[in-house]
Amino acid sequence: MEFGNRENGDRGTMSQINVTPLVDVMLVLLIIFMVTAPMMQQGVQVNLPKAETKSLAPKEDTLVVSIEQSGKTFINSSEISPDLLKEKLTTMLAGREKREVFLKADRAVPYGDVVKVMAHIKGAGVERLGMVTESPQRQ
């Protein structure tokens, strides 16, 4: 089998790269990564650092959604049912240029309840959701 015509009649060997072993190795690596990737999705226990941050000056028109330890939900100082939170925020944010809300939840409130309230807030069309925290010195 001749791969090319040579002018001088020299019939030397033409070397080609055999990619079959490379493909085999790549497929084995792909399978290994596919098997180990789901194992890496599990949570790891970490102690989160406490951060020093500057306080933001509150604005008059700032909306703060608060969740008490008992589970009561408030917009600023008005109590509201969590089921009506999305509709109420939608109407309150209708004419605003900046659609931002701050969420302040008691540390004893279950994480799932906080996430549900966050989902209602985001569902109301809020573009920026800030979490209100306490500085480490106050604890």
pLDDT digits (tens, 9 = 90+) for 17-49: 888 999 999 999 999 988 887 766 544 443 444
Domains of the chain: 63-134 (3.30.420.270)
pLDDT in tens, 40-98: 654 444 344 455 666 555 555 678 888 888 888 888 888 888 888 889 888 888 877 88
pTM value surpassing 0.85: no
Distances (CA, A) of 24 to 29, 35, 47, 48, 82: 9, 17, 42, 43, 56
The predicted model gives 99-105 an average pLDDT of 85
Which pair of structure tokens corresponds to residue 116?
A: 């549900």
Q: Where are the alpha helices (DSSP H) in 1-139?
A: 20-36, 85-92, 111-123
Rounded Cα distance, 120 and 118, in Å: 5
pLDDT at 31: 93
Look at strands 78-80 and 63-67 and give their pairing. unpaired
Rounded Cα distance, 24 and 136, in Å: 55
The amino acid occupying position 16 is Q
pLDDT at 48: 43
Which pair of structure tokens corresponds to residue 70?
A: 């008992």
